[in-house]
């Protein structure tokens, strides 16, 4: 089933379309979510929330503003960041056992593998080192622009400008 056919069925709220939607995009969305939400069970919960949001908000998707994949990727990223910033998640992280810290270290060492899971690692590597650093913080670690500004000791306006320029460079490499 093509993406266009799938979108028509999703707009009609065809239940079979939901299964196709999940089959087509769950692995790549989970990879993005799991980079931000280190706990697998929490990441799976976020993935479920993402698909519910996609299903319920499909009418807000506008083809003229961007690709469908980009739209759902932003939903996944934003939902993950919302989860990270939630009070419940913060409280649950305060009670981690030492086993989880070993897993967190293992997970952080696999970041480059996870970047490749959505197929952009080679394109990100072509960017300037500062762009790689900014994209890593903003998109893969879930930092806000203000947090990235503080982390990199750069003015907020500089982060915003460099982020925009880096994304444009990435778009040029991807030919989007």
Angle at 142 between CA 154 and CA 90, to 5 degrees: 115
Sole residue written with tokens 């409280």: 91
- Whether residue 10 is found in the same domain as residue 87: yes
Give me the chain's average pLDDT, please: 80
Q: Which residues contact 176 (CB under 8 A, 6 or more apart)?
A: 67
Helix axis angle, 3-11 to 15-36, nearest 10°: 110
16 shares its domain with 70: yes
Residue 173: pLDDT over 80:
no
Question: Range with the lowest mean pLDDT among 3-12, 34-43, 78-87, 105-114?
Answer: 105-114
Contact 135, 124 (CB under 8 A): yes
The answer on 146 and 111 residing in a single domain is yes
Determine what percent of the chain is predicted with pLDDT higher than 90.
22
Domain that holds residue 144: 101-174
- Residues 105, 75, single domain; the answer is no
Let me know: does 132 contact 125? Beta carbons within 8 Å.
yes
Note whether 109 and 74 are same-domain residues. no
Asked if residue 73 and residue 19 are part of one domain, the reply reads yes
56-91 CB burial, b ≥16 within 10 A, e <16: eebeebeeeeeebeebbbebbbebbbebbeeeeeee
pLDDT tens-digit profile of 96-114?
A: 544 555 555 555 545 544 4
pLDDT in tens, 119-154: 666 777 788 889 888 888 887 777 888 888 998 998
Instruction: Give me 97's structure tokens.
Output: 């056992």
Residues 108 and 152 reside in one and the same domain: yes
* Final residue belonging to a domain, choices 92, 122, 140: 92
Domain boundary among 65, 92, 119: 92
In this prediction, residue 89 carries a pLDDT of 55
Residue 129: both structure tokens together: 């080192």
What beta strand segments (E) does the chain contain?
none
Instruction: Tell me, yes or no, whether 76 and 145 share the same domain.
Output: no
pLDDT of residue 176: 56
Are 14 and 81 found together in one domain?
Answer: yes
């Amino acid at each position: 089933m093509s993406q266009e056919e799938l979108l028509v069925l999703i707009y009609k709220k065809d239940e079979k379309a939901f299964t196709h939607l999940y089959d087509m995009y769950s692995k790549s969305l989970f990879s993005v979510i799991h980079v931000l939400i280190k706990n697998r069970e929490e990441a799976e919960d976020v993935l479920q929330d993402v698909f519910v949001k996609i299903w319920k908000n499909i009418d807000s998707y506008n083809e003229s503003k961007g690709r469908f994949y980009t739209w759902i990727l932003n939903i996944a990223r934003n939902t993950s960041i919302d989860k990270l910033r939630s009070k419940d998640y913060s409280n649950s992280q305060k009670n981690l056992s030492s086993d989880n810290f070993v897993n967190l270290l293992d997970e952080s060492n696999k970041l480059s593998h996870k970047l490749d899971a959505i197929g952009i690692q080679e394109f990100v590597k072509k960017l300037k080192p500062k762009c790689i650093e900014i994209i890593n913080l903003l998109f893969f670690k879930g930092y806000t622009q203000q947090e990235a500004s503080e982390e990199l000791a750069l003015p907020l306006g500089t982060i915003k400008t460099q982020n925009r320029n880096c994304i444009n460079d990435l778009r040029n490499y991807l030919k989007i």
